[in-house]
Structure 1
Amino acid sequence: MSRLDTLIFGCGALGQEVAMQLAERGIEVYLYSNDLDEVGALLAKGMQAAVVDFKNDDKLREIGIGRWVKRIFCLFSDEPSNLFLTLSARALDADLKIIGVCESAASGQRLMAAGATKVIDPYEISGHRVHERIARPYLVEMLESSLFGKHIDIAEIEIPDHSRLNGAMLNDLDLGSRFNLIIIGVVDLELGRELIFANSGISHRLDEGDILVVIGPEEEISRLKQAVAENSLEPTTDTGDP
Structure 2
Amino acid sequence: MKNRAALIFGYNDYALEIAKNVTYEYENVYLYSLNSEQDILKNRSCFEVKSFDLSDKWDDLNENIDIQNSIAFCVLEDSAENIFLTISLRSSFVNLNIIALSNNKQTANKLQMAGANKVIPLVQTTAEMISEMLQKPIVKDVFHKILFESGALKIAQVKVNESNCYIGNVVSDIDWSKRYGIVVLAIVNEDMSSEFIYSSKVKHHIVSKDDMYIVVGYETDIKEFEKMTGSACD
Larger proportion of helix: 2
